[in-house]
Amino acid sequence: MKKKDVKLFIYHAGQCDPKKCTGKKMARFGLAQLLEKINRIPGGSILLDPMAEKALSPHDNAEKGITVLDCSWEHVEEVFPQLIKLELQHRALPFLVAGNPVNFGRPFKLTSAEAFAATLYILGHKEQAQAVMSKFNWGHTFLELNQEPLEEYSNAKDSKEILRIQNDYI
C-alpha cells in the first residue's frame, strides 16, 4: 500500500541560476510548491536546516510537510534568524554525498531535490523520493550513491541512532 505523498515546500529566495535550479524544476512538475515569503512556510513542517541541533529520523512527523530553503549560502545568515520565529521542526540531514553534476561526490552539498529525496526516503516515502529524482537525468545517481546509508537511516529508531550510523560513513 502506497503512503500518502508528503507536501513539499520550497522557500525560494531567487538567488540561484534558474537553469540549474532543482527547486524550480520540481515546482514546474507539480512536485513542490514555491514560496516567496518566509511567513508562508507552513507551521509545524520539517525545515531542513544544516545548522539544526537534531538530525532527521524516521520518527519525525512530516504531516505538515517538508520545507527546503533555496537560497545562497552567502545569504543564509539573513534568512535563518527570521525562521526562528516560526514554529517549525528544524532538522539536519545526516551524511550523504551529492549525485548532481555540479557537486558530484561532495558530502552535504545537495541540491534541493536531493535534500527532499533523502528526507522522503528516510521517512519511509521511498516511492515519492524516486519520483522526485526521476525528473533529473542524474537523479538515479544520487539514490545509487547513497543507497546503503539511506537504507540504514530509514531503519533507525531515532536521531541518536542516525548519528551513530552517520559516524560509520564519515
- Cα-based distances in Å from 163 to 121, 140, 143, 148, 156: 17, 25, 20, 15, 10
What is the residue whose three cell numbers read 529566495? 13
Q: Over 50: is that where the pLDDT of 34 sits? A: yes
Q: What is the mean pLDDT of the chain?
A: 89
Q: Which three cell numbers stand for residue 131?
A: 519520483
Average pLDDT of the residues in 112-132: 97
pLDDT of residue 8: 97
Sign of CA dihedral 132, 138, 144, 145: negative
pLDDT of residue 23: 82
Indicate the SS3 state at residue 94. Answer: coil
